[in-house]
C-alpha cells in the first residue's frame, strides 16, 4: 500500500513536471501513418471538420477516418501542386501548379492578400490581391530559419508557420519551431517542437479545434499538440 502511495505520488509529480515545464501545448500525441508510409507534408481539414487530409511522399492524399481510426486513400496528387477539396461535390481541383520550393500560400481571412514563404530566402512575402497595393508584394517578415508552409490560425488575422532552424556547428542540426505571426508581420509566439521532432524538418503546423497538427516528411506520424484544457 505504502509502495502504491509512493508510486502514485511519484507519478503525479512526474505528470506535474511535464505539464508545468511544458509550453502552451504540453500534450503531444501521434496519428500513426499506415505501414511503409512516411512524410505527412500537410494536414488539412474540410469544411465539415473531416480529416486531417494528409499528402504523403508517394503522392497520395490520405484522409483520417476518426470513426474507424484509420487513414483511407482519398486522392492522388503530384508534388508542387496546391489542391482544393470540395466536401459537397467531393471534387479535388488544382489551384496552383509549379510551386517550386515556395511554401504556403495562405490567403487572408478577408481575401485581400496571400502569404508565401521562401524556404531558401528565409522570409515571408505578402502579395496583395485587392486594394491600392493589388498585385504588388512586400517582405512581411525575415525569419531566423527556413520556413515551409503557412496556415491560417483559428484566430482571425493570425497564421502558423512551420520553421526549421538549421545550424551547422558543432554538427548539423535541425530545430523545428511553430511560429505564430499576424498579417502585419508581428511574431506572436515561438513554439519549439522538442518532443517527436529531434533533428527533423517540419512541413506544416495546422491549428484545428485549438490543437496543432504537425506534418513532417521525416516522420511516419502526424504530431498532435493539445493545450491544457
Ligand X SMILES: *[C@@H]1O[C@H](CO)[C@@H](O)[C@H](O)[C@H]1NC(C)=O
Chain residues in the site for ligand X (CB under 6 A):
171-173, 199
Contact partners, residue 186, CB within 8 Å, separation at least 6: none
- Closest to ligand X by CB, 120 vs 172, is 172
Name the closest residue to ligand X (Cβ): 199
- Closest to ligand X by CB, 47 vs 172, is 172
Contact partners, residue 72, CB within 8 Å, separation at least 6: 62, 63, 65
- Closest to ligand X by CB, 148 vs 206, is 148
- Closest to ligand X by CB, 2 vs 171, is 171
Q: Cα–Cα distance between 181 and 159 in angstroms, integer?
A: 5
- Residue 145 backbone phi and psi in degrees, to 5: -170, -170
- Closest to ligand X by CB, 112 vs 201, is 201
- Closest to ligand X by CB, 142 vs 199, is 199
Strand partners, 182: 158
Residue 166 is given by DSSP the state E
Q: Cα–Cα distance between 75 and 57 in angstroms, integer?
A: 13
Q: How many CB atoms lie within 10 A of CB 14?
A: 10
Q: Hunting for cell 508545468 — which residue is that?
A: 20
The nearest distance, CB 199 to ligand X, in angstroms, is: 4
CA-based diameter of the chain, in Å? 74
The nearest distance, CB 39 to ligand X, in angstroms, is: 14
CB 224 within 8 A of CB 29: yes
Q: Cα–Cα distance between 163 and 175 in angstroms, integer?
A: 8
Residues in the chain: 229
The nearest distance, CB 85 to ligand X, in angstroms, is: 33
The nearest distance, CB 22 to ligand X, in angstroms, is: 22
The nearest distance, CB 40 to ligand X, in angstroms, is: 18
The nearest distance, CB 167 to ligand X, in angstroms, is: 10
Amino acid at each position: 500500500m505504502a509502495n502504491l502511495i509512493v508510486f502514485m505520488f511519484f507519478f503525479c509529480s512526474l505528470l506535474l513536471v511535464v505539464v508545468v515545464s511544458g509550453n502552451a501545448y504540453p500534450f503531444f500525441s501521434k496519428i500513426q501513418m499506415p505501414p511503409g508510409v512516411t512524410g505527412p507534408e500537410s494536414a488539412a481539414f474540410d469544411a465539415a471538420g473531416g480529416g486531417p487530409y494528409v499528402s504523403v511522399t508517394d503522392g497520395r492524399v490520405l484522409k483520417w477516418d476518426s470513426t474507424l481510426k484509420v487513414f483511407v486513400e482519398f486522392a492522388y496528387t503530384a508534388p508542387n501542386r496546391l489542391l482544393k477539396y470540395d466536401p459537397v461535390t467531393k471534387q479535388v481541383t488544382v489551384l496552383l501548379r509549379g510551386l517550386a520550393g515556395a511554401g504556403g500560400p495562405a490567403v487572408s481571412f478577408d481575401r485581400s492578400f496571400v502569404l508565401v514563404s521562401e524556404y531558401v530566402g528565409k522570409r515571408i512575402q505578402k502579395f496583395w490581391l485587392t486594394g491600392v497595393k493589388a498585385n504588388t508584394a512586400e517582405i512581411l517578415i525575415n525569419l531566423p530559419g527556413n520556413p515551409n508552409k503557412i496556415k491560417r490560425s483559428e484566430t482571425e488575422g493570425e497564421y502558423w508557420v512551420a520553421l526549421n532552424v538549421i545550424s551547422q556547428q558543432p554538427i548539423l542540426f535541425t530545430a523545428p519551431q511553430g511560429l505564430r505571426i499576424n498579417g502585419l508581420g508581428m511574431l506572436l509566439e515561438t513554439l519549439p517542437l522538442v518532443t517527436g521532432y529531434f533533428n527533423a524538418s517540419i512541413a506544416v503546423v495546422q491549428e484545428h479545434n485549438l490543437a496543432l497538427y504537425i506534418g513532417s516528411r521525416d516522420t511516419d506520424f502526424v504530431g498532435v499538440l493539445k493545450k491544457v484544457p
